[in-house]
Amino acid sequence: MCGIVGYIGTKDSSTDFVLAGLKALEYRGYDSAGLVTIDNGRLKYLRDVGRVANLEKLVKRNGHPAVATRDNGLSGEGNFSESSGQSRTSGTAAGAAQQKIDLSAKSTGGVASSAGQQASAANVSCGIGHTRWATHGSVTEFNAHPHANSSRSIFVVCNGIIENYQDLKADLIKKGYKFKSETDTEVIPHLIDHYLKTGDGFFAAFKTAIADLRGAYAIAAVYTEEPEKIYAARLSSPIVIGVGNGEHFLASDPSALIHKTKKVIFLNDFEVAEISANKAHIESLDKTRKEITQVVELDYDHEESELGTFPHFMLKEIHEAPMTIKSAIRGRVKPDIKTIKLGGLESVKQQLTLIDRIIITACGTSYYAGLIGEYLIEEIAGIPVEVQLASEFKYRKEPLSRGTAVIAISQSGETADTVAAIKKVEDYGILKLGIVNAVGSTLTRITDAGVYCHAGPEQSVATTKAFLAQVTILTEIALHLSDGKSKLFTPLLKELTNLPDKAQKVVELAPAIEILAKKYAHYRDFLFIGRNYLYPCALEGALKLKEISYIHAEGCSAGEMKHGPLAMIDENFPTFALACDSSLLDKTMSNIEEIKARKGPIIATATVGNKKIKSIADDVIYLPKTAEQLQPILSVIAMQLFAYYIAVEKGLDVDRPRNLAKSVTVE
Ligand code: M6R
């Protein structure tokens, strides 16, 4: 959460790059934004609450020309070869500061990357920016980043959490430092200010300050006395340096800079960087580490994500369901030659034959996809699977045998808990696999192998198409692990290829689902039920609804209703029942009857041809017939549309729901 960008160079305007970069990273947080730039000796320091667009307006009012906009997105390969809380003082120059500074500082530092001609401080444009998802302190301009020391010579932006900030703050207050915000980040500029007094220069003070911090962070800083440099540090939160010709870029993920350069340096944990237009000098604060991260060339292109004629990205992404499934099976599922080919797992082919237990770890929607994966792998490949929330798994002390493989599932590839879960097993010598959508993201670099979702960029905070890709790939992995021995192997290979057309039929139900959503939008509670493969799918339906409509929703196994949840049912508590044809359909139908008997309104999804359900449910959404194992893929599209239209009916910000961010990079 929180997006960081930075620019140092002679080619571009730091303000332009920072604003465009912040827009590309807005999915990481969108409650306030800010920047600091130094151009031709002029310091510009602007912050505002709300979206990056508000900051952009503030910049324009403060005399900057119009700024180009862009969207983020990626495609390609990675390791997977294939204090006070003042309220906002609104208005034009709120939080704005401009001052003239001295440009006499000299450049220092070793070399990890160097390029281009020499740049003097006078013609260098320097800036850092931040889009915030509040952790410490409410959403006010004073809590927006960058944060500065009292003399406003040191500016810092941070993504993450400084766990020991209260101790540091107490020490600094004793030393006479004064704080203006409630944030943890504000300790950093004051700490650097304090260490600067030793006289060893800014980089030395920066490193000493960073060494004092505990927690997880990505940090960027500028110092007005050295306006030809920006500084960066990382511990457990992503930050990448883009290497240009006579310029360097900084961003929380490559999507914000890949349109400028494909040469990048992914900072490792404990690394710090001193970056000028021509040099990126990197050191590790971890003395046991001998290797410093190097420049790598990204081998994928920037993928624009345009809204087109859709009113929201969420609706657009739901409509991409058929294409998403096609991309997830393309080149992998070959029913004609009865083969499944997962190129990303080729390098670990031998190890895969030895595994006798799988742990799937993930968060949120990816976790629910993992639960469906558990049913799939156990039924098709016969390998025991456990699914664990990454936030729990990373702290659990459980025995892990060498025959265990861990699969991390993540759309973003940056979720802090999922990354930590994989890091936890790094020294166990067990196989670490990933199912990831964002190309080149952290998880693709720290797993041994994996399978890309190829779902394309997702802009909506509520994930939709990535879930479809994840479940499709889990089906492929299950088939791959079964080595053709499962009786489901041939039928499922074939049915996977039929799925895009069937998904299209569900997408075409949008107008009918919109009418239903209008009917149900006024309810305050909702239950989602299902059995077997449709149980985890019900959990995902509930998450989708609560996430974007703020309606209280719970997912429940239909068989569990009598064990408690049934007590909640009355005429004001509707149930969304997943009741497609299966060996357990009669049991689900009985559960629906029990809800009906208690006057609970019922919407059901059912397989085309099921007439009986019409007499029980108030409303029925008919879905195309498919294999039981693949029903979650079609059912979830209907639930996504339902949640979407309810949120629209309630007039909510569908793509940017309150309190959430797309990439959760803090614990
Ligand atoms: O990027 P990831 O898949 O690791 O994200 C995990 C969850 O944060 C994510 O699925 C979240 O639950 C979504 N906002 C749900 O729509």
Say what percent of the chain tops pLDDT 70: 90
Q: Is the pLDDT assigned to residue 81 strictly greater than 90?
A: no
Say what percent of the chain tops pLDDT 90: 78
* Cis previous bond, 82, omega within 30: yes
For atom 11 of ligand 1, the residue with the nearest CA is 364
Mean pLDDT for the chain overall: 90
Predicted confidence (pLDDT) per residue in 591-636, tens digit: 999 999 999 999 999 999 999 999 999 999 999 999 999 999 999 9
Q: Is the pLDDT assigned to residue 102 strictly greater than 80?
A: no
For atom 9 of ligand 1, the residue with the nearest CA is 364
Q: How confident is the model at residue 87 (pLDDT cuts 50, 70, 90)?
A: very low
Q: Is the pLDDT assigned to residue 459 strictly greater than 50?
A: yes
| Full 3-state SS string of 585-621 | HHHHHHHHHHHHHCCCCEEEEEECCCCHHHHCCCEEE
Mean pLDDT of 464-487: 96
CA–CA gap between residue 387 and residue 376 (Å, rounded): 12
Taking phi over 0 as left and psi of -120 to 50 as alpha, with beta for the rest, 512 belongs to alpha
**How remote is the CA of residue 539 from the centroid of ligand 1, in Å?**
13
Q: Which of 658, 663, 535 is nearest to 591 (CA)?
A: 535
Active site residue 158: no
Helical (H) or strand (E) element with 114:
strand 113-114
CA–CA gap between residue 239 and residue 253 (Å, rounded): 6
Q: Which stretches within 219-337 are classed as H helix?
A: 313-319, 321-329
Contact of 21 with 5, CB cutoff 8 Å: yes
- pLDDT score, position 27: 86
Q: Is the pLDDT assigned to residue 29 strictly greater than 90?
A: no
Distant-in-sequence, close-in-space partners of 476: CB < 8 Å, separation ≥ 6? 328, 329, 332, 333, 340, 342, 451, 496
Q: Is the pLDDT assigned to residue 364 strictly greater than 90?
A: yes
Q: Is the pLDDT assigned to residue 85 strictly greater than 90?
A: no
Contact of 226 with 104, CB cutoff 8 Å: no
Active site residue 580: no
Q: Which of 391, 577, 413 is nearest to 79 (CA)?
A: 413
**How remote is the CA of residue 364 from the centroid of ligand 1, in Å?**
5
Domains, the chain: 3-84+100-161+219-298 (3.60.20.10), 307-506 (3.40.50.10490), 509-667 (3.40.50.10490)
Q: Is the pLDDT assigned to residue 282 strictly greater than 90?
A: yes
Tokens 């080595």 appear where?
Answer: 483
What does 535-568 look like in DSSP terms, one character per residue?
Answer: HHHHHHHHHHHHHHH--EEEEEEGGGGGGTGGGG
Q: Is the pLDDT assigned to residue 306 strictly greater than 50?
A: yes
Q: Is the pLDDT assigned to residue 92 strictly greater than 50?
A: no
Predicted confidence (pLDDT) per residue in 388-411, tens digit: 999 999 999 988 998 999 999 999
Contact of 3 with 159, CB cutoff 8 Å: yes
1 against 505, higher pLDDT? 505
Q: How confident is the model at residue 463 (pLDDT cuts 50, 70, 90)?
A: very high
pTM: 0.84
Mean pLDDT of 652-657: 95
**How remote is the CA of residue 443 from the centroid of ligand 1, in Å?**
14
Predicted confidence (pLDDT) per residue in 159-206, tens digit: 999 999 999 999 999 999 999 999 999 999 999 999 999 999 999 999
- pLDDT score, position 103: 39
Contact of 613 with 556, CB cutoff 8 Å: no
Amino acid at 324: T
Q: Which of 2, 158, 537, 580 is catalytic?
A: 2
- pLDDT score, position 440: 82
For atom 7 of ligand 1, the residue with the nearest CA is 364
Q: Is the pLDDT assigned to residue 246 strictly greater than 70?
A: yes
Q: Which stretches within 242-330 are classed as H helix?
A: 313-319, 321-329
Give the strand pairing for 525-530 and 552-557: parallel
- pLDDT score, position 116: 44
Q: Is the pLDDT assigned to residue 79 strictly greater than 80?
A: no
- Ligand 1 atom showing the smallest separation from residue 664 Cα: 8
**Of 71-75, 82-86, 461-465, 526-530, minimum mean pLDDT range:** 71-75
- pLDDT score, position 569: 94
Q: Is the pLDDT assigned to residue 106 strictly greater than 50?
A: no
| Binding-site residues, ligand 1, Cβ < 6 A | 363-366, 410-412, 415, 418, 461-463, 543, 547, 664
Q: Which of 133, 314, 318, 365 to mutate to test the pocket of ligand 1 (most atoms within 8 A of CB)?
A: 365
Predicted confidence (pLDDT) per residue in 493-535, tens digit: 999 999 999 999 999 999 999 999 999 999 999 999 999 999 9
Q: How confident is the model at residue 82 (pLDDT cuts 50, 70, 90)?
A: low
**How remote is the CA of residue 434 from the centroid of ligand 1, in Å?**
15
Tokens 């906002």 appear where?
Answer: 88
For atom 4 of ligand 1, the residue with the nearest CA is 410
Q: To 5 degrees, how large is the angle CA 194–CA 198–CA 200?
A: 115
Taking phi over 0 as left and psi of -120 to 50 as alpha, with beta for the rest, 623 belongs to beta
End-to-end CA distance of the chain: 10
Three-state DSSP class for 375?
Answer: helix
| Tokens standing for residue 262 | 């494909």
**How remote is the CA of residue 493 from the centroid of ligand 1, in Å?**
28
For atom 16 of ligand 1, the residue with the nearest CA is 462
Q: How confident is the model at residue 427 (pLDDT cuts 50, 70, 90)?
A: confident
